[in-house]
Structure 1
Amino acid sequence: MPQSNRRRRTPQGRAEKVLRPVHPNAGIEAEYQRRLNRLIGEMHRSVLYWLSSAYRANQPRIAADETPADALRRAMRDMASRWLKRFDEASAKLAEWFGQSVQNRSSAALKKILKDGGISVEFKMTPAMRDVLDATVNQNVSLIKSIPQQYLGQVEGAVMRSVQTGRDLATLSKELEARFGVTKRRAAFIARDQNNKATAALSRARQLELGLDEAVWVHSGGGKHPRKSHQKAGRDKTRFPIAEGWFDPEVGRKIIPGELINCRCVSKAVIRGFS
Structure 2
Amino acid sequence: MVSIDQLAKIKQRRMGKLQTAKMKKPPKWHPPSSLEREYMRVLFSLTNELKTLIKEIIIPALPSLILEVEQLYPTSPARGDDFSDALKRLINSVIHAIKGKVEETIAESKIIGVQVARYNKRQFDRINNSVFGIDIFIDQPWLQDQLKLFGSQNAQLIRSLPAQELEQVAQIIERGLQEGSRFHSMTQSIQERFGITRRRAKLIARDQTSKLNASLTKLRQQELGVEEYIWQTAGDERVRSTHKAHDGKKFRWDNPPKDTGHPGTDINCRCVAVPVLEGLLDI
Into which bin does the TM-score normalised by the smaller protein fall? 0.7 to 0.9
* Distance (Å, rounded) in 2 between the aligned partners of 1:227 and 1:132: 30
List runs of 5+ in structure 1 lacking aligned partners.
1-11
* Distance (Å, rounded) in 2 between the aligned partners of 1:202 and 1:130: 11
TM-score by length of 1: 0.82
- Report the CA distance shift for 1:155/1:13 in structure 2 as closer, same or farther (over 3 A): farther
Higher share of residues assigned strand: 1
Work out the percentage of aligned pairs sharing the same amino acid: 27
Q: Which residue of 1 aligns with 2:256?
A: 246
Q: Which residue of 2 aligns with 1:58?
A: 65
Are 2:272 and 1:258 equivalent residues in the alignment?
no
- Report the CA distance shift for 1:238/1:82 in structure 2 as closer, same or farther (over 3 A): same
| 1:191-217: CA deviation from partner (whole Å, max 9, x where unpaired) | 111121111111222222222222112
| 1:32-79: CA deviation from partner (whole Å, max 9, x where unpaired) | 111111111111111121113322333322333634523432223322
Residue 16 of structure 1 deviates from its aligned partner by 4.3
TM-score by length of 2: 0.80
Q: 4+ runs of 1 displaced by more than 6 Å?
A: none
Q: Which residue of 1 aligns with 2:134?
A: 120
Residues 46 and 102, structure 2, Cα contact 8 Å, conserved in 1: no
The residue type paired with residue 282 of structure 2 is F
The residue type paired with residue 249 of structure 2 is T
Q: Which residue of 2 aligns with 1:189?
A: 203
- Report the CA distance shift for 1:71/1:53 in structure 2 as closer, same or farther (over 3 A): farther
Residues 136 and 198, structure 1, Cα contact 8 Å, conserved in 2: yes
List runs of 5+ in structure 2 lacking aligned partners.
1-18
Residue 220 of structure 1 deviates from its aligned partner by 3.2
Residue 30 of structure 1 deviates from its aligned partner by 1.1
* Distance (Å, rounded) in 2 between the aligned partners of 1:137 and 1:117: 33
The alignment's C-alpha RMSD in Å is 2.6
- Report the CA distance shift for 1:125/1:153 in structure 2 as closer, same or farther (over 3 A): farther
* Distance (Å, rounded) in 1 between the aligned partners of 2:199 and 2:112: 19
Compare CA radii of gyration and give the structure with the larger one: 2
Higher share of residues assigned helix: 2
Note the 1:120-269 alignment, pairs <5 A. Answer: 120-121=134-135, 126-222=140-236, 224=238, 226-228=240-242, 230-234=243-247, 237-242=248-253, 244-248=254-258, 250=259, 255-269=261-275
Residue 21 of structure 1 deviates from its aligned partner by 4.4
Residues 36 and 209, structure 2, Cα contact 8 Å, conserved in 1: yes
